[in-house]
C-alpha cells in the first residue's frame, strides 16, 4: 500500500496542474500559436501523469524507511513560529528565538549554548548585514 502513496500524490499534482493549465487565460496574440502559454505546461503535465500512472501500477519501494516524523513536525512548528515572529519581532530577534527553540528541541541542554549561541549568531548577522553591508531590514512591528 505504501508503494502507492507517492505515485498517487504525483498523479494528484499532475491533475491539479493540468486543471490549472486549462484555466490559463491566453493573450490575443498567442492564442492561435502552436506553442503558447499552455503548451509546455500541457506537455509536462501529461508526461508526469503518464509516469505516475505507470508507477502506480508497478508500485514504488521506499529507499529509506523508519523516519522520525515527530521531530520533523516539531521542527516545522519552529519554522512556522519563526515566520510568524519576523514581521513582529524583527528578523534578528526572531532568529535568536528560532535557534534557541530548535536547539532545545533537538536535545541541547547546556544553558550556555542555548543562550549565547543564538544571541551571538543574531548579533553577528545584524552587524554583518545591516551595519556592514547597509541592507535595510524592517525592525518589526513591536518596536516601531
Partner 1 sequence: MWEGIAQGLGTALDPANLLWVAAGCCAGTLIGMLPGLGPITAIALMIPVSYTLDPAAGLIMMAGVYYGAVFGGSTSSILINAPGVASTVATSFDGYPMARAGEAGRALAIAAYASFAGGTIGALALLLFAGALASWATAFQSPEYTLILVLALSSIAAFAERGRVARSCVAALLGLMLGTVGTDQSAGVQRFTFGRLDLMDGISFILLAMAVFALAEAFHMLTTRERGGDYRPAASVRLRKGDARAITPTVGRNSALGFLVGILPGAGATLASFFAYDFEKRFNRNPACGIAAPEAANNAACTGSFVPLLTLGIPGSGTTAVLLGVMLSLGIQPGPRLLETDPAVFWGVIVSMYIGNLVLLALNLPLIPYISRLIQISRPVLIPFVAAFSLVGVYLTTSNVFDLYLMLGFGVAALILRSWGFPLAPLLLGFILSGMLEENLRRTFYLVDGSFSMLLHRPATLVLAIACAAIWMAPAIRWWRNRPRGEPRS
Partner 2 sequence: MKLPGSRRGTASICLALCACLFPIAAAAERLHIVIPAAAGGGLDGTARAAGRALTAMELAGTVSFENIAGAGGGRGLSVFVENTARFREALIVNSTPLILRRLQNLYPLSFRDLTPIVGLVADYGIFVVRNEEPADSWLSVVTRLRENPRAVIMGGGSARGSLDHIVAALALDAAGVDARRVRYLPYDGGGKAMLALLGDEIELLSTGLGETLPFIRAGQVRVLAITAPERVKAIEDVPTLTELGCPVRFANWRGLFASPAVDEDVRVSHIQRFRTLTASDTWSGTLEQYGWEPLNLFGEDFTRYLEQQESLLRETMAKLGFTR
Site for partner 1, residues 34 to 53, rule: CB under 8 A:
34-37, 39-41, 44-45, 47-48, 51-52
> Is 127 one of the binding residues for partner 1 (CB under 8 A)?
no
Work out the burial of residue 91: count CB atoms within 10 Å of its CB; fewer than 13 is exposed, 13-18 middle, 19 or more buried: buried
Q: How far is the CB of 79 from partner 1 (least distance, A)?
A: 5
**Which stretches of the chain bind partner 2, using CB under 8 A?**
25, 27-30, 130-132, 134, 136, 138, 144
Residue in 61, 64, 67 with CA at minimum distance from that of residue 1: 61
Question: Which partner in partner 2, partner 1, none is near 131 (CB below 5 to 8 A by kind)?
Answer: partner 2
Site for partner 1, residues 83 to 112, rule: CB under 8 A:
83-84, 86-87, 91, 95, 98-99, 102-103, 106-108
Site for partner 1, residues 2 to 41, rule: CB under 8 A:
6, 9-10, 13, 17, 20-21, 24-27, 29-30, 33-37, 39-41
Chain center to CA of 68: 19
Amino acid at each position: 500500500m505504501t508503494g502507492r502513496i507517492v505515485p498517487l500524490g504525483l498523479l494528484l499534482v499532475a491533475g491539479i496542474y493540468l486543471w490549472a493549465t486549462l484555466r490559463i487565460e491566453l493573450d490575443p496574440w498567442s492564442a492561435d500559436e502552436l506553442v503558447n502559454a499552455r503548451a509546455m505546461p500541457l506537455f509536462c503535465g501529461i508526461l508526469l501523469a503518464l509516469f505516475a500512472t505507470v508507477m502506480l501500477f508497478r508500485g514504488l519501494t521506499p529507499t529509506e524507511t523508519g523516519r522520525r516524523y515527530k521531530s520533523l513536525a516539531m521542527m516545522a512548528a519552529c519554522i512556522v513560529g519563526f515566520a510568524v515572529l519576523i514581521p513582529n519581532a524583527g528578523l534578528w530577534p526572531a532568529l535568536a528565538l528560532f535557534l534557541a527553540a530548535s536547539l532545545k528541541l533537538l536535545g541541547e541542554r547546556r544553558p550556555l549554548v542555548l543562550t549565547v549561541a543564538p544571541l551571538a549568531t543574531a548579533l553577528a548577522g545584524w552587524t554583518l548585514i545591516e551595519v556592514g553591508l547597509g541592507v535595510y531590514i524592517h525592525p518589526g512591528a513591536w518596536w516601531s
